[in-house]
Amino acid sequence: MSHIAKDMMTKKLITVEMDDSIEKAATRIVEGNVKRLPVVNSDGKLVGIISRRDIMRYLYL
């Protein structure tokens, strides 16, 4: 039995835009119960990923 990526991926993607605040990203991570959050530009193109760890490091430095 072979699986492909689309069988394993999250169907409803939770994202944050590049210019959104760290607080907004943290809220989306908590409310979405996810560990990582894709960061997109105004065109919806993926430009990076922010994690819970990234946020914690930023807030407590």
**pLDDT tens track of the chain, all 61 residues?**
788 988 888 778 899 999 999 999 999 999 999 999 999 999 999 999 999 999 999 888 7
Q: What is the pLDDT of residue 2?
A: 81
The pLDDT value given to residue 57: 93
- Domains of the chain, start order: 5-59 (3.10.580.10)
| Among 30, 27, 32, 40, residue whose Cα is nearest residue 11 | 32
The structure's pTM equals 0.80
Strands 16-17 and 36-40: parallel
**pLDDT the model gives residue 12:** 85
Contact 54, 32 (CB under 8 A): no
E strands, the chain, are: 16-17, 36-40, 46-51
